[in-house]
């Protein structure tokens, strides 16, 4: 891992078009600003990892399980008007 020391209001460039700026340091929290093109998605790592795990768990359920699911209907009291 590359390690750089930065102060508040200093930035790091990743490639030519991603700029990561330290906005504020307060105790054990750091506020970070990120400027990146739309084609690059930016997420908190723990949220992205959770979504990865959820997608892997949902991928390719057993075909037998699908047959039962096809009969599952939204509960009438929760159906939208």
Q: By CB under 8 A, name the binding residues for another protein.
A: 38-39, 41, 43-44, 47-48, 50-62, 65-75, 78-80
CB of 80 to another protein, least distance (A): 4
Q: Which is nearer to another protein, 7 or 73 (CB)?
A: 73
What gap in Å lies between CA 5 and CA 61, rounded to an integer? 47
- Tell me whether residue 24 or residue 50 sits nearer to another protein (CB atom): 50
Q: Which residues pair with 25 in a beta bridge?
A: 30
Region of 32 please: left (phi>0), alpha (psi -120 to 50) or beta. Answer: beta
């Amino acid at each position: 891992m590359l390690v750089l020391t930065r102060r508040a209001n200093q930035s790091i460039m990743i490639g030519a078009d991603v700029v990561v700026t330290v906005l504020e340091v307060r105790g054990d929290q750091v506020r970070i600003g990120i400027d990146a093109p739309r084609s690059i998605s930016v997420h908190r790592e723990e949220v992205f990892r959770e979504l990865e795990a959820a997608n892997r768990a949902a991928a390719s359920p057993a075909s037998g399980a699908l047959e039962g699911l096809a009969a599952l209907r939204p509960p009438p009291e929760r159906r939208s008007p």
